[in-house]
Amino acid sequence: MSSPERQKALKGMKDVLPPDIYLWQKVERTASELFSAYGFREMRTPVAEATAVFSRGIGEGTDIVEKEMYTFEDKGGRSITLRPEGTASAVRCFVENQLHTLPSPQKYYYLGPMFRYERPQSGRYRQFYQIGAEVFGSAAPAVDAEVMSMLRHFLMRLGLGSLNFQVNSIGCEECRPGYKQALLAYFAPVTGDLCPDCQRRYLHNPLRILDCKVRRCIELRKDAPRVTEHLCTGCEAHFRKLLDLLKLLNVPYTVNHEMVRGLDYYTRTTFEVTSEDLGAQNAVTAGGRYDNLVRNCGGPDTPAFGFATGIERIVDLLKQTLLPPEPAPAIFIAALGEQAHDAAMVIADGLREEHIWVELGEPAASLKSQMRKADRLSSEYVFILGDDELNSGLISWKRLSDGTAGKVSRADVGSFLSGRR
Give the residues lining the site for RNA (CB under 7 A).
Answer: 1-3, 8, 11-12, 62-64, 68, 85, 116, 118-125, 128, 130, 197, 201, 208, 212-214, 261-263, 272, 279-286, 308-310, 312-313, 336, 365-369, 371-376, 382, 384, 386-389, 396, 398, 400-403, 405
Q: Tell me the sheet residues that pair with 359.
A: 332
Calpha distance 259→245 (Å, rounded)? 20
| Smaller CB separation from RNA, 20 or 236 | 20
Nearer to RNA, 124 or 180 (CB): 124
Secondary structure, 3-state, the chain: CCCCCCCCCCCCCCCCCCCHHHHHHHHHHHHHHHHHHCCCEECCCCCEEEHHHHHHHHCCCCHHHHHCCEEEECCCCCEEEECCCCHHHHHHHHHHCCHHHCCCCEEEEEEEEEECCCCCECCECCEEEEEEEEEECCCCHHHHHHHHHHHHHHHHHCCCCCCEEEEEECCCCCCHHHHHHHHHHHHHHHHHHCCHHHHHHHHHCHHHHHHCCCHHHHHHCCCCCCHHHCCCHHHHHHHHHHHHHHHHCCCCEEECCCCCCCCCCCEEEEEEEECCCCCCCCEEEEEEECCCHHHHCCCCCCCEEEEEEEHHHHHHHHHHHCCCCCCCCCEEEEECCHHHHHHHHHHHHHHHHCCCCEEECCCCCCHHHHHHHHHHCCCCEEEEECHHHHHHCEEEEEECCCCCEEEEEHHHHHHHHHHHC
Q: Select 242 or 263, whichever has its Cβ closest to RNA.
A: 263
CB of 281 to RNA, least distance (A): 5
The CB-of-105 to RNA minimum distance in angstroms stands at: 22
Which of 61, 300 has the CB closer to RNA?
A: 61
In the complex with RNA, which residue's Cβ is closer, 291 or 380?
380
Closest to RNA by CB, 246 vs 336, is 336
Judged by beta carbon, residue 107 or residue 126, the one nearer RNA is 126
The distance of closest approach from Cβ of residue 115 to RNA in the complex, given in angstroms and rounded to an integer, is 9
Residue 1 Cβ vs RNA, minimum distance, rounded to whole Å: 3
As to burial, measured by CB atoms within 10 angstroms (0-12 exposed, 13-18 middle, 19+ buried), residue 20 is middle
Nearest 5°: phi and psi at 287?
-175, -170
